């Protein structure tokens, strides 16, 4: 039976939903039997509150940018349909993302996603590399995964980077994972399973507004 995993990340207004922080972005990429299918889910969420400047410096997502985005209850059914009932949810420091997602679900009167469905790549990395730096950036450097295009944190971008890191944590890019050898090619090539398209791309307007915001930042935290 095929195993579906969703490598994901979130962005938020802060660190703790119990003190009023909220989810503002969700990004998931799909992997089936350790094969990246090329499908993804991405959504910005209106938190119905201001985004603190300290959080904006991390991900670049402003209160103004989120004003016309749907609230979580409006995208909840679409999100739950994509996640399904048995897919494994893979995240780096998964407890953080799980708390925010489950708080939003509870707040909307829906059952939470069972904690056993979440897989934490940070815990895997700490077991594999005890005492070493195991942040996503540190793992990218250790495994030679490129993150040079990452100037700001973003849920979908970080999920895509984490997918590559996750494959390396499982043993690397081998046949039977997310790469296969094409008999007519000189090396391994990424394969894409044929599945019904369920992607949710970011609009050009959102990308343009996000890029415009980045150019206006003074002394961004990632330059320190």
Active site residues: 153
Looking at the chain, list the stretches that DSSP marks H as alpha helix, in order from N- to C-terminal side. 53-59, 63-66, 72-83, 94-107, 121-128, 136-143, 155-169, 204-216
Tell me how far apart the alpha carbons of residues 77 and 39 are, in angstroms, rounded to a whole number: 18
91, β-bridge pairs: 120
Instruction: List all residues 6 or more positions away from 147 whose beta carbon is below 8 Å from its beta carbon.
Output: 136, 137, 140, 161
Q: Which residues of 72-92 are buried (b: 16+ CB within 10 A; e: fewer)?
A: beebbeebeebbeeebebbbb
Tell me how far apart the alpha carbons of residues 187 and 134 are, in angstroms, rounded to a whole number: 30
């Amino acid at each position: 039976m095929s195993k579906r995993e969703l490598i994901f990340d979130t962005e938020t207004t802060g660190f703790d939903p119990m003190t009023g922080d909220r989810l503002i972005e969700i990004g998931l990429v799909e992997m089936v039997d350790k094969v990246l299918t090329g499908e993804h889910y991405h959504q910005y969420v209106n938190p119905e509150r201001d985004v603190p400047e300290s959080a904006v410096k991390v991900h670049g997502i402003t209160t103004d940018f989120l004003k016309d985005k749907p609230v979580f209850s409006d995208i909840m059914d679409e999100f739950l349909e994509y996640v399904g009932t048995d897919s494994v949810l893979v995240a780096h420091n998964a407890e953080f993302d799980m708390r925010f997602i489950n708080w939003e679900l509870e707040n909307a009167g829906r059952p939470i996603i069972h904690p056993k469905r979440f897989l934490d790549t940070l815990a895997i990395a700490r077991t594999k590399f005890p005492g070493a730096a195991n942040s996503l950036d540190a793992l990218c450097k250790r495994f030679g995964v490129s993150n040079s295009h990452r100037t700001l944190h973003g849920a979908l971008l970080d999920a895509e980077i984490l997918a590559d890191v996750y494959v390396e944590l499982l043993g690397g890019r081998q046949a039977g994972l997310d790469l296969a050898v094409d008999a007519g090619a000189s090396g391994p090539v990424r394969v894409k399973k044929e599945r019904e398209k369920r992607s949710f791309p970011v609009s050009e307007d959102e990308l343009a507004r996000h890029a415009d915001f980045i150019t206006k930042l003074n002394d961004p935290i990632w330059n320190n």
